[in-house]
Structures are given as C-alpha cells and as structure tokens.
Amino acid sequence: MNEALPSRLELLHFARRVVVQQARASLAQLDAWIAAEERREAERRTGEAQRPPPPEWLVERGIGAGSPPTRIHRGGCHMAQGVRVKAISEEQAKRALYADVELACPHCNPDTELRVIPG
C-alpha cells in the first residue's frame, strides 16, 4: 500500500499522450473522409465529361402506344422534361412541323429555328 501517487507532471505528460493519440485517430478519420469526397468528386467530373450531348430535337407523344406527336421541342426545352419524349433528327422535326406547324412548342419555338413557315 505504499504506492506513490503520480506527480502532477507525470499526469500532464500522460494527458498529452492521450490527446496526441486521439488527434492522430481524428486526423486519420478526417483524411479518410477527404479521400472519399475527392473520389466522389472525380467520379462526378468523369461522369459529366462522358455524358452524351443532349439531342437537338425532341418529339413529345400523347398517352398510349402509337399515339401521334403532340409537340416538337428543341433539345433543351424546359417543357420537354416528361417521359413521353423521344430524340428525333432535324429532318424528322422539319417533316412533323411541315405536316402540322401547330405542333411547334410555344416555349422553345422549333419552327423558327428550323425556318418552317406556316401556310
């Protein structure tokens, strides 16, 4: 029972070792989080670089299989965000608009871009 209690200086050195050990563990965890985020960011950039360009022209169809076109859109039109939209060629867009110029979307005006004049 004659054990001597550690001195204040020994306790402070012990506390310092504990703090250093915890800091190393915290830094290791933080480094792992940074590495994971860097991988996600690199994957996002790679995905963006490999993404095909949006189509230039879109046809929107009505509900039901084989339904006729309801609108012709430019590729970036905000109104063409539905599931019934399909990419088409410029020639197909022109033909559809020549058949019925009323199919032209009033927001993106594909008839103006393709120089389709009604009448």
Q: Give the tens place of pLDDT for each residue, 29-44.
A: 999 999 999 999 999 9
pLDDT band at 1 (very low <50, low <70, confident <90, very high): low
Q: Which residue has the tokens 């949006």?
A: 54
pLDDT at 117: 78
CB 107 within 8 A of CB 79: yes
Separation of alpha carbons 4 and 96, rounded Å: 97
Separation of alpha carbons 20 and 5, rounded Å: 23
Q: Of the candidates 56, 58, 53, 89, which has an alpha carbon nearest to the alpha carbon of residue 71? A: 58
**In this structure, are strands 85-88 and 69-74 parallel, antiparallel, or unpaired?**
unpaired
Stretch 77-106: mean pLDDT: 90
Strands (E), 1-119: 57-61, 69-74, 85-88
pTM of the model: 0.58
pLDDT at 53: 87
DSSP state letter for 101: G
